[in-house]
Amino acid sequence: MPLGLGGAGALITYSVQVSCTPPFATPRWVDITARVKTMNIVGPGRQHELQRVVPTTATILLDNLDAVFNTWNTAGPFAPGSFLGGANGLTPQMPLRVVVTTGGIDYDIAYLYVDSWIPEIGRAHV
């Protein structure tokens, strides 16, 4: 299990925020868990809420056989103007969060901002 969290019965959820119109709008998160193949986090981040945040890098490999994450796919669900893509589609600085649910309690373990979407044939890196 990634990050050494959870255990038997733990559920890991990966979501990307596709729209949030300020001010005071509720963000719309899209679950991409079924498409996550691997995730690698390098760096300590912050272990306690009172600690200083240290830069952390994460690489996530997504299943993209159907080209759903490709920015050139104007017919895809994440294309600009589509329901999931919002006004801008898949762009850098989109928030991405990782949540572990165990014992009925959700634990936010990572809150990241997408630096880039790098599509490849058959897969996409975030």
* Residue 53: CA count within 13 A, CB half-sphere: 7
Q: Would you place residue 3 in the very low, low, confident or very high pLDDT band (cuts 50, 70, 90)?
A: very low
Which pLDDT score is estimated for 23? 61
Q: What is the pLDDT of residues 63-120, one digit of tens each?
A: 888 888 777 777 777 777 776 666 666 777 888 889 999 888 998 888 888 888 777 6
pTM given for the model: 0.71
Check: CB of residue 98 under 8 Å from CB of residue 90: no
Provide CB contacts within 8 A for 45, sequence distance 6+.
Answer: 53, 54, 56, 110
Structure tokens at 11: 């559920």
Higher pLDDT, 50 or 48: 50
- Alpha-carbon dihedral of residues 99, 114, 17, 34, nearest 10 degrees? -60
Structure tokens at 53: 């945040």
